Structure 1
Amino acid sequence: MKRIIRYLPIVLIPFFALGQDSIVSNKSVSYHHKRATLYMHKDDLANATQELNTASKIAEANEDLKGLLDTYNRFALLHLELEDKPTALFYRDRAGIFLKGIEYPSGEALNKYINARLMLEENKPFQALELLDEALKLSNDKNLLNNIQLTRANIYLNLDRFEDAEQQYNALLVNSDDLEQSYLATKANLGLAELNYEQDEIEKSTNYAEAALKISTKHNYQRLISKSNAFLQATYEQLGEYDKALEKLKGLMQLKDSVFTIEKLREQTRTADQITIGQLRNINSKLQSENEELLQSENRAEVTAILSLAFLTIISLLAVSLFRNNQIKLKTNDLLQTKNSELEKARDDAIEAMQAKSNFLSTVTHELRTPLYAVTGLTHILLEENPSDHQKEHLKSLKFSGDYLLNFINDILQINKIDADKLETLSVEFKLKKVLSEVIESLQQRANENDTRVVLEFDNKIPNSLLGDPMKLSQIFMNLVGNALKFTSDGQVTVIAKLLERGEDKAKIHFAVKDNGIGISEEQQKKIFDSFEQGSIQINREYGGTGLGLTIVKSLLGLFNSKINLESKENEGSKFFFDIEFKCEEPAIADIPFELDPEEFDFEGNHILIVEDNKINQVITKKMLTKKEMTADIANNGQEAVDMAKQNRYDCILMDIHMPIMGGVEAMTEIRKFNSTIPIIALTAVSMEDSVEEFLSVGANDVVTKPFKPEVFYHTIGENILKTRMQSQS
């Protein structure tokens, strides 16, 4: 049995050790240990493994048992850091076997530190602290002491011993470790970030995480960069700083690119397999040499024992290799699942951030409408009270600014609704020629200011009545015609509607808006439909506007399953055109077009109910009605409106939507239960959640968006009162 004992160390040859005939570095074991640590920090597993492999070969060549033991410990730390617990346990156990045969306090201290880390992962903090104390008694190595301090801080944090944890982390912020100074400082900053987050000190937490990100980025600590970005994305989102949160999310997604990560894992597998195969060849070579020697011996029992030992050794190593490969496959699958989860979370976070932005814009635009209503309303009233010439000039400037701001707010809200996918099309009966004529009429004043004619070329073959969404169609033409007028001076804008196809229940119509204005260059045409684009900065400064109109047109046409096209030449003009297919139900007897002339409106003596909770809006609305010789009562909320509508007779109700006690939608629903004929006009500063379709469905005859243009306000009231009276007489 002496020979068996003599050859037992063959079984303990390092798992990553190659033969002594391999090329061995002329550097020391500790040199390669340090290089492996630096590669480990940067997640360069292949090079870290190679450095430790070189260290093991040097130790083996020099018969340095302590060097082999230290290398095993560092292999265990490497895989512990990479969250590969099975492999870490394998190397910890190899080091533990060596420790039973030699007196080596420093190696024992490192082994106990590894055991403490494993205990912490198993949620056994007190056993971990005990092992750390034992390690401290065995070694005074500065690097090990600093790592023990970091682990102790992490344990205190898990135990909610915040003061103790903070003391340990702060000490590491200014550590003087020769090897891991920056890495330990980064870890300490992340620990302080988490500590402050647990204590609801979010801003301080963010500052520490930013410091960790700065250091880790400088030194390319990839996993710590990832952790810092993920932490900052969550905290900035909690602070409501969504732009910063999205920035960190982008950084996180760039770093965690799945192809790169999986390729790196494959490289890890290839490196480990190559080293394992080399090691098996080395052992087989040694065993073969020993077996040839033993075959010449007469002691067959000893030969059998050695061969059995060799067989068991090879089987054991193959089992370890298969186990490792299986672990890597499992890890790859886990990585893919984790990546999918991260992408899903990133998607959800992006949606949540977009929703927060939409809610913010909706709230801001909604709140701006109330004071703007006062500005535009009072300006209109003052202009009608015969101001002096110099006052009239100032009031007109104020009116222009109010209208500009109103258009901008409406555009922002419209874009916001489009981004949030809140828009849907109606399918109601309407008269296309009336819609186009009203758009042209509403823009006539602007056309007159530019000395420009607006002409409607309408194909009389188009069915009199169509089914669709006249409101969104009006928005499309308001933007297109308004845009054409902006860039056309002393010229002509032509609106074209031409029948392309006519079926039994549908009609395809070609629309175009032409002008002979300044035109658009080919380069500008490529981005003219993007948000906030007007071709160039010079055009923006000269002609004004938000640059959102064409973006809105493009999005609204998408709801009609249509696409806008553009033809333009500089200094010759532009043509925007598109086709839309409408459903149509031509009645057996053609309807006689019912058009209302504003001159037919008889406002005098009409009694109106104003339902509005804002005092300034009450005064302005009542003053505007008085200008047309109408009288008015005021209800401060929906409940008062219902009660007053039961007790009094009104020619029309102007209903605000957002009010305390009872809102406008509920009030209209209640009024329609006992009065189905009175005209109700919803006056609302439309927000993201508001739906014009909903207002119409609960009983509104019409909707006017606040702040409104006086001419639209009067026309809507007069039209609805006149319609109701004519219907009651028929």
Structure 2
Amino acid sequence: MMKSLIIKFFTCLTLCFISVNLQAQDLSENEKEVIQGKINYNINLAQKNIDFNEFYKAQSDLDEALNLANQINDNKSIGLIYSKIGKIQFIAEEPNEAIKTLVKAVEKQRFAKDNINIAETYKTMGNVYMSKKEYNTALDYFNSAQSLFEKEDLHDYEAETILYKGDAYSELEKHEDAAREYESSLSLSKRYQNNKILSSAYINLGKTKAKLDNLDQAENNVMQGLNIAQKNKYPGVISNAYASLSEIYNKKENYKEANNYLNKHIKLNDSLLKAKRNFLSPEKRLDKLYSNSIEYQKEKEADLEKEASSTWLEKLTTILSIALITILSLLTLSLYKNNNIRLKSNNILHKKNAELTIAMEKAELATKTKANFLSTVTHELRTPLYAVTGLTNMLLEENPKPEQVQHLKSLKFSGDYLLTFINDILQINKIEANKVDIEPEVFNLKKKAENVISALNNSALDNNIQLHLEYDSTLPTNFNADQLKISQILINLIGNSIKFTKDGDIWVRVIKQKQTGDNFELRFEVEDNGIGISEEKQQNMFESFSQGSIQINRKYGGTGLGLSIVKGLIDILKGKIYMKSKLGKGTTFYFEIPMKRSNEIIVEKKANYFNEVDELELSNIKILVVEDNKINQMITKKILNKMKLYCDVVDNGEEAVDKVKTTNYDVVLMDIHMPGISGIEATKIIRTFDKELTIFALTAVTIEDKMQEFEEAGFTDIIPKPFKQEDFEKKLFNALMLSDQNNASNVEQTT
């Protein structure tokens, strides 16, 4: 009885100590930075254990890191941890579990925009599918990984990925393709002095040459790889070299050497497998720990029996003393360890923060450089495009000779295509730079879908396609969401289906997935029965320039950027996109996005400005065109003349300011880039003495990058070049109508 009470008392004291210790840990982990330091420490420790094949230790480190990362919702770390766990599962020959874990990793890494680690995860996915003998799928993942590594200038990893691509081609018995990949890997690893990949590339190239019956070169390649591997002590690579040489000598009918290398391979391979099993299975170590604990328990029982002769008071005093000393010692040790961890974490954090600051500065500089480059290039492209599209439209309207019409239409198509391409590049740049904001407004979703289909119907009829809309009858029609982005997504997806379908049908469906109050999750589907997409090309469909091939691009048109834009916009709307397709059977794209129902009544806006044009006395309208490019001056002037409007033209900002001071203009069309003072500076000067004048920025610069600057300068609105004539006319006539109404109001007040 007394023994039981003593044990319970000791247990209670121990639990008290554990509780105190946990509370101390909680207090030390309240600071997010300290937790992040511990996460980084555990991930680094896990990687070291992986490097030394201590996989069960690495798993323990990663489990602890994952628990901490979930506490602070650190997606980047969670993605990295899942990626490493997936790699361990792959090594442990659990491919299906590895795939599930790696898919989780990619989801988190995409959310964190961690391209470098996405590439590493893709590479591991490729290796998993190689182990499952799904070589085409493996190739898709290796291609994706290579593309990202190349983009990030991580050439060591790129060389390794190319090596794995060679392995996939080899398994598919595409030996010429395999040899090409091995040679590419060999070249890269030589350049960046990655001896492990270099040795493997030599050996695998040799194996491939042997399959192509070039035995002398095969032997030479494998020997080169073996020498590098032996020099650097790569046992796995050495074993591969032995096996390869055995096969080569067997083909050369040198059976003695073949048998010699085969024995070396078997001996080394058995040793490696044994080591792997030991590292992967900690049972033996656990058995040892268990047996030790039994011996310890027996010793404790013997001690207790010896002490049974002493009085219960002496025993209680002794045990309580030991318990107290133990608790004090453990508390001291705990505080010491916590202080050490804090110091180490702070040191790691300080170092990481310094590295992070440098990396962020470099990233910001790279982003600014890229933005400036794109702004400059697009301006230089838009300026001549303004001339191309403007002159082409004029020539088409001026009764050209019949034999010239087709040439002019081709020129117009090329100009429109190039403009679309430029706009797509800018859109992707905005998405990648996180410069796209959600702009919700109340709209009729069903009508929006009908309008998109109506706008694309002529293109569909050209390919003898019928468009069908199926709108879920259980859905409301009015929602509060970003209708422009939804329209753009639908236009891209339906337009894509039209391009790849002939004499068929396209179904557009809007379906309710689930509802909580006014919050809905909607599923949009765009299904066609066109040419379909092969499994090999489906993996990269949402990446830029991935239509599949130059031939497809030429035959069906398009820039290859539409689906990449769609993916980016859906991510911004917090949605997901999927696809299914079968070659020759058609394709279905479906995406799910959250939307909120609105009970607000929508007032239809009527575009009646053309009917009101006749009410204006156009002969009294005075317009000033400020443009330094002579061709653009002529085009703008002709467009205005066609609209029965006349204008003055100046070619610099200084003259524009002088003209506005001396002449009462209704509208100024101001270019931005000009010699002398820019259009922005000229507008600022004009606003010092005329606050009401309508000034349009007629510009070829990237509007989004300059919007704040335009607003601060005092522009009324912006007309990007090259523009659609109807958009130009609409903005101009709206400004003129407003000016006319203001003048009438002033006359009434004067009267």
Q: So what's the TM-score if we normalise by structure 1?
A: 0.45
Q: Which has the higher helix share?
A: 2
Give the structure with higher Rg (CA). 1
